[in-house]
Amino acid sequence: MSKEDLLKAFAGYAPHADSAFLAKAYDFAVQAHGNQSRASGEHYFGHCGAVAEMLLDWKMDLPTVAAGLLHDVLEDTPVTPEELSAQFGPEVTRLVQGVTKIATLKFPSRVDAQAENWRRMLLATAEDIRVILIKLADRLHNMRTINFLDYERQRRIAEETMYLYAPLAHRLGMFEIKGQLEDLAFEVIDNRSYRQISGEMQSRMAAREELLKSFQEKIEEVLKPSGLPCRLLSRTKSLYSIFQKMHRQGKPLSEIQDALGVRLITDSVANCYALLGLVHAHFKPAAGTFTDYISLPKVNLYQSLHTTVVGPGGEPIEIQIRTEEMHRTAEYGIAAHWRYKGGGGANDSHLEEKLNWLRQWIEWLQDLKNPREFLESLKTDLDFNQVFVFTPQGEVKVLPAGATPLDFAFAVHTEIGSACVGALVNNKMVKLDYEFKSGDICQILTKSGSVPKKDWLSHVKTARARSKIRRYFREKGIAL
């Protein structure tokens, strides 16, 4: 992207911002990277420009786009933090430092280096969410150009992308980015399955698109008399999510019914429900498929109404109904809440509240000093394979698959976890290493004066429980 194109794109949504600052960052990065080139042979700055271009697509603010241009100068050039701060101020410098990796040579193993880099990045993210948005743009472009690396490096980077970056994008509600990261990593990790599904999807697309076209015409015919504002979009599942569903259900691709679907985008919450009523009045809904993520949004901000109906040809078709704002959030997640708003940066009054889960989670992870344990806990807590467990009062606790009564106890309250002596699941006594199934009802039994045990660390899955147990022993001066 040329400097002129970059400035024009930024001015398109931030006409009153200081574009000279952005031009200065562009020129500084070009000069700092000098004659450096990437494995592809292209000039290194091409990567920096591509990262900034993604941030522009997400309509990020001036410091974020500038930091995108400069994100590798501390890691790959002689530029110092002091020099960067003198030129661009502490805010941009802090963002760049947040995405800068520490040299692997400073650590006894690659795992230690990876764990420490993730720890530093997450801490920086807790202070400023824009750090992870720059890093996700950086990783997405790196994955798009990964074929120029040797296979061993490709696989290592793809696995980190699949098991850490893509789930983190999911946690942040950035489904579009998550899907792209997963598919790019899938292509490297299991190329045979990737090519097989890709080929089958292409051959099926024509037939399915005809079905969807027919269905969309029918929907438009039904909705037109209502006068409700609505635009229709087709939706295609990512190849990796299709692969996961095939594996999970033990079915071939031909039997995966929601590989394609429809989205109805409207202007208000009231009209979302009005559209749902019209759809259900004219198309037979499939039993048990309706989910209301508007009344009960996901923790990653996602909101939509989901339903599956029987289409004109008798095939089930999944429909998602949402507002334009919900659609932006579904595509870009937390980035949609940090978009340039004219006053500079995010002014979403609820953004801080929405980030509290992230900050709390990062705080728990900081108690894990062993690098391998840190990375395993990070992967576990990012995993979206979850179970839903109820208290006797009907309150639901969402836990990772494999979670135990101790995880549940600490999720309810630290004091309940610490004093736990047993658990009733569905009115039956279970061991503390029992693994929950969704729908279980759990009652924790406590005893005054009871304290955590060392072997509990082998029974818990969540970073929260592990952190609270470790903190108890640390405060008592007991070595683990």
Q: How far apart are the C-alpha atoms of 477 and 361, rounded to whole Å? A: 24
The single residue of 27, 72, 76, 367 carrying the catalytic annotation is 76
Annotation marks residue 183 as catalytic: no
- Residue by residue, DSSP assigns 239-294 as HHHHHHHHHHHT--GGG-TTSEEEEEEES-HHHHHHHHHHHHHHSPBPTT--EETT
Residues 272, 274, 279, 285, CA torsion sign? positive
The single residue of 18, 53, 75, 190 carrying the catalytic annotation is 75
Q: How far apart are the C-alpha atoms of 51 and 56, rounded to whole Å? A: 9
| Nearest residue to 216 (alpha-carbon basis) of 172, 177, 262 | 262
For residue 465, the number of C-alpha atoms closer than 13 Å in the C-beta half-sphere is 31
Region for residue 342 given its phi and psi (left: phi exceeds 0; alpha: psi -120 to 50; beta: otherwise): left
User: Mutual orientation of helices 130-144 and 45-57 as an angle, nearest 10°?
Assistant: 120
Annotation marks residue 75 as catalytic: yes
Q: How far apart are the C-alpha atoms of 407 and 462, rounded to whole Å? A: 6
The label of the residue with tokens 């610490």 reads 418
The DSSP output letter for 162 is I
Q: How many residues does the chain have?
A: 480
- Residue by residue, DSSP assigns 442-466 as EEEEE-TT----GGGGGT--SHHHH
Q: Is 345 helix (H, G, I), strand (E, B) or coil?
A: coil
User: How many other β-carbons are positioned within 10 Å of the β-carbon of residue 82?
Assistant: 9
Question: By the 8 A CB rule, do 409 and 416 touch?
Answer: yes
Which H/E stretch holds residue 468? helix 463-475
CB neighbour class for 193 (10 Å; exposed up to 12, middle 13-18, buried from 19): middle
- Starting from the edge strand earliest in sequence, which strands make up the sheet with 231-236, in order? 231-236, 260-266, 316-323, 305-310, 291-292
Task: Please identify every residue annotated as catalytic.
Answer: 75-76
